[in-house]
Structure 1
Amino acid sequence: MIYLELLWTFIQIGAFSFGGGYAVLPMIEKYVVQQQQWITLSELADITSISQMTPGPIAINAATFVGIKVAGIWGGLIATIGCVLPSFILLIILAYYFFKNSNLSFIQNILKGLRPAIVSLIALAAISLTMIALWTNPQGDLLSVKNLNTSGIVSATISLLLLIKFKMDTIGVIAIGAIIGIIIHII
């Protein structure tokens, strides 16, 4: 039964995750964290961080991580297949349509309409991850200084500085973030 739940959950995520990358995070949060309660919001933030360090799209990496946590290796495989299947089927149909018809204005108009929605999904994911990283209790009093996560603020500030001022590669920033996390944990 858990395999079917994993498959169906990640088919839904895969079917409606337009925009890729961080745009999928609100859907993963809704289905995996809130509805199924397979992982916590904090674990989702961890999975997102790990997914940035591993090759492949965030949605597929998250599906694999969640599936393995919930039901072992087979769960990871089934969740990953569920996440990929809708895109695979849609891509086959679109590729056939694309190569059969030279005029794709209908498809282009659909994509133009989706772009603003994708931007809002990415913004929502950014807000959610920011709250997890910068506050000790994202559901608590966000204006309270006591609720601020100083190590998260320091790490985020250093990361932004490295990205914007020094134009550092994202992999380098992730590696430095991991090192900062280790140092903070040791201290």
Structure 2
Amino acid sequence: MLLELFWRFFKIGLFSFGGGYAIIPLIQAEVVEQQGWLTQKVFTDVITISQMTPGPLAINTSTFVGMQVAGISGALVATIGAVIAGVIISLLLFNFFQSHQESKVVSTILQGLKASSAGLIASAALTIILLTFFTTSEFSQITGLSMLDIRAVIIFIGSWFLLKRFEIHPILLLCLAGVFGFFVY
């Protein structure tokens, strides 16, 4: 199991571009859809906890998924698997960019990667929104507004209002929303 965890997260780290939010669909595909290690609900909870804890989202998510699948050793192996590819690639890219600083081709490739990352981030955001408000990540499974979680919508709107109107610190807002959610759910 540990070797499988390492391999899956090594692949995720190897093929993820654009940071934490861009990695969410890749992790979801591996651990929920392909391996079935986590349910969609547990995965959503892992993403939520990963966002609230200090540190990069991709590392936190890898750690929490590994913990759910194989305990502390799973957390360690999944985290190392997710990070090691990025470290190796970063070192190789640093050397490459140092020797090709003025290349227009390299600049154009980077523009393409930025666009791809924006698409992955938008996909992750849409997945989180659908899971939060409709408890599904697929548009085709939404049968109407009766599936809409009104409590989640109220917490979202209230949080947004408090953040924009009163500029409440995000950590305090997360705590307040968590307490409110505890009582509402």
Superposition TM-score, scaled by structure 1 size: 0.88
**Structure 1 residue 5: deviation in Å?**
0.8
Q: Aligned partners of 1:118 and 1:184: how far apart in 2?
A: 36
Q: Which residue of 1 aligns with 2:144?
A: 143
Q: Aligned partners of 1:98 and 1:117: how far apart in 2?
A: 20
Q: Which runs of 5+ in 2 are unaligned?
A: none
Q: Which residue of 1 aligns with 2:56?
A: 57
Pairing 1:101-116 to 2, within 5 Å after superposition: 101-103=100-102, 105-116=104-115
The C-alpha deviation readout for 1:60-112, integer Å capped at 9, x for no partner, is 11111111111111111110000001100011112223344543544332221
The answer to whether the 8 A contact 2:128-2:137 is kept is no
Q: Which runs of 5+ in 1 are unaligned?
A: none
Taking a change above 3 Å as real, the CA distance of residues 108 and 174 of structure 1, as seen in their structure-2 partners, is: farther
Q: Aligned partners of 1:84 and 1:117: how far apart in 2?
A: 20
The answer to whether the 8 A contact 2:66-2:77 is kept is yes
The C-alpha deviation readout for 1:21-70, integer Å capped at 9, x for no partner, is 21111111111110011111111211111111112111111111111111
Q: Which residue of 2 aligns with 1:24?
A: 23
The C-alpha deviation readout for 1:108-134, integer Å capped at 9, x for no partner, is 322210122212211111111111111
Q: Which residue of 1 aligns with 2:169?
A: 169
Aligned residue pairs total: 183
Q: Aligned partners of 2:169 and 2:107: how far apart in 1?
A: 32
Q: Aligned partners of 2:40 and 2:130: how far apart in 1?
A: 11
The answer to whether the 8 A contact 2:134-2:142 is kept is no
Q: Aligned partners of 1:53 and 1:15: how far apart in 2?
A: 25
SS at 1:18 equivalent: coil
Pairing 1:1-187 to 2, within 5 Å after superposition: 2-103=1-102, 105-136=104-135, 140-145=141-146, 147-185=147-185
Q: Aligned partners of 1:177 and 1:94: how far apart in 2?
A: 41
Taking a change above 3 Å as real, the CA distance of residues 179 and 90 of structure 1, as seen in their structure-2 partners, is: same
Letter in 1 for 2:170: T
Letter in 2 for 1:175: C
Letter in 2 for 1:127: L
The C-alpha deviation readout for 1:129-151, integer Å capped at 9, x for no partner, is 11111125566444142x22111
Q: Aligned partners of 2:124 and 2:6: how far apart in 1?
A: 23
Q: Aligned partners of 2:24 and 2:136: how far apart in 1?
A: 19
Q: Aligned partners of 2:129 and 2:34: how far apart in 1?
A: 22
Q: Aligned partners of 2:162 and 2:104: how far apart in 1?
A: 41
Q: Aligned partners of 1:111 and 1:138: how far apart in 2?
A: 30
